[in-house]
Chain A
Amino acid sequence: MTSENLSLILTSLGPIVLAAIAGTIPLALISFAVGLAIAVAVALMRLSKVRIVSALARFYVSVVRGTPLLVQLFVIFYGLPSIGLTIDPWPSAIAAFSINVGGYAAEIVRAAILSVPKGQWEAAHVIGMSRRLALRRIILPQAARVSVPPLSNTFISLVKDTSLASLILVTELFRQTQEIAAFSGEFMTLYLEAALVYWVICLGLSAAQNRLERRLDRYVAH
């Protein structure tokens, strides 16, 4: 590695990391939080006994999982203006990522709720709980433990998927990298550097996942 390359890495690292902190990470965090709320709602709709409600939820999941995220992003940012709905890059990105996470995580949450033994519902009812209260106090906390590993997967995917937002003008890690690369012409160096930064972020997330699992494991036999 030449010394020019090394100094390029060092001078570009600042702006790239900054773009990660100001763009990639908040984009991922907000989208995941909103997406998770959508997911719980959609999962509960799917479990509903009212057929039309569960059909709606199934339709949502089917559309989200059956179409590419990039297409969803473009429909919202480039498509909607043609029917008079113009949304800025950031809100467009958050909307697309949230809707996408909502679809994938809904299935995870649904499976996690179903994995809680029926006896837990019954015990909750016997102490006088309504369905809603049982869900909130007894079922969801147990479902949460089961869903941490698959949801972590979804979150890690999301962090990397936020790079697609570079295509709708959101200044995040990858777009920042592209700009520096175009300016310097050192594509290999800079894209590998971007890959490294993504990887470091995801390493941190894996560590956080382990800690969370251990915390939630305190009531499980080992």
Chain B
Amino acid sequence: MSRTEPLLTVRGLAKSFGATPVLRSIDLDVPAGTVTTLIGPSGSGKTTLLRCLNGLEVPEAGTVTVSGGPSVDFGDAVSQRRLAALRDCSAMVFQHYNLFPHKTVLDNVIEGPVIVQRRPRPEAVAEATALLERVGLGEKRDAYPFSLSGGQQQRVGIVRALALKPRLLLFDEPTSALDPELVGDVLSLMRELAAEGWTMVVATHELQFAREVANEVLFMDGGVIVERGRRRRCSAARTRSARGASCSG
């Protein structure tokens, strides 16, 4: 894999709901280890773009390519299998968390690794426990989601995504449903993940966060990217091994 090849390449993505176009010919490159933030007014297409990246929405045209993974051309009929392959490259954190209410915090986190990825349960439990402890929710392991605050639920949502070990993390307005005093915890966790070198695409209304953390900020309006703000964080694309080193961001 060439070092300059982006992890995710999007070309000519177009999507409409009925007669209303919501995305018009979107091009996007996401290099490995970088953070891309999507900002813009409600209805500008950020969420739809994000959902096209993992096939939750099926665009009418365009390609989504994951380096070393599937390349899906939505101009043709796309099988469920191709969509699933695309989806397996990423994990998504939802605005409304979408935790499974009938499962404990731990079971929410290990459901994907154990049931879908068929990894050994003890290993998945150990990893999930470590991740939960890391986000300060070790004691909530056996609690049900309803008993957690919004901020706690969203941190579980993030841990559930991390536990899948995806190559790409998608965040759909992860703090928009939170009370203002709970936003900080979630954002600081996302900052840590960015610093660790996770590749992230984040739709958000948090302008400060978008500016500080992102390698590239995309301003969307009316289904197009109207402006791209790039900033150099580090000299080279960060990888997880380079975590913290010489990063003065």
Q: Which residues of A contact B (CB under 8 A)?
A: 117, 119-120, 122-131, 133, 137-138, 141-142, 145, 218-221
Contact = CB atoms under 8 A, between A and B. Distances in A.
Given A122-B94, A221-B146, 9 more contacts: A120-B100, A122-B56, A123-B99, A126-B87, A127-B164, A129-B112, A130-B84, A145-B102, A218-B144
Contacts of B116: 127-129, 133
A127 B162 CA distance: 10
A73 to B, nearest CB: 38
Query: Which of A125, A127, A133, A137 counts the most chain B CB atoms within 10 A?
Result: A127
B141 interface: no
Given A122-B56, A123-B100, A219-B102, A137 B87 contact: no
Interface string B152-187: 000000001100100000000000000000000000
Interface residues of B, number: 29
A137 B90 CA distance: 21
A219 B94 contact: no
Given A126-B56, A128-B164, A219 B112 contact: no
B101 A127 contact: no
16 contacts: A119-B94, A119-B98, A122-B92, A122-B98, A126-B54, A126-B91, A127-B164, A128-B87, A128-B88, A128-B112, A128-B117, A129-B116, A141-B102, A219-B101, A219-B102, A219-B146
Nearest to A128: B116
Contacts of B115: 129, 133, 137
A117 B98 CA distance: 9
Nearest to B145: A219
Nearest to A138: B100
Contacts of B60: none
Contacts of B103: 219
Contacts of B196: none
A141 B103 CA distance: 10
Given A119-B96, A125-B56, A128-B117, A137 B111 contact: yes
A123 B101 contact: no
A131 to B, nearest CB: 8
Contacts of B80: 130-131
Contacts of A137: 111, 115
A122 B90 CA distance: 13
Contacts of A124: 100
Contacts of B84: 128, 130
A213 to B, nearest CB: 14
A183 B165 CA distance: 76
Contacts of A122: 56, 92, 94, 98
Contacts of A138: 100
Query: Which of A124, A125, A128, A130 counts the most chain B CB atoms within 10 A?
Result: A128
Interface string B107-118: 000011001110
Nearest to B51: A122
Contacts of A126: 54, 56, 87, 90-92, 161
Contacts of A220: 101, 146
Query: Which of A123, A129, A133, A141 counts the most chain B CB atoms within 10 A?
Result: A123
Contacts of A125: 56, 87
Nearest to A219: B144
A220 B56 CA distance: 27
Contacts of B90: 126
Nearest to A130: B84
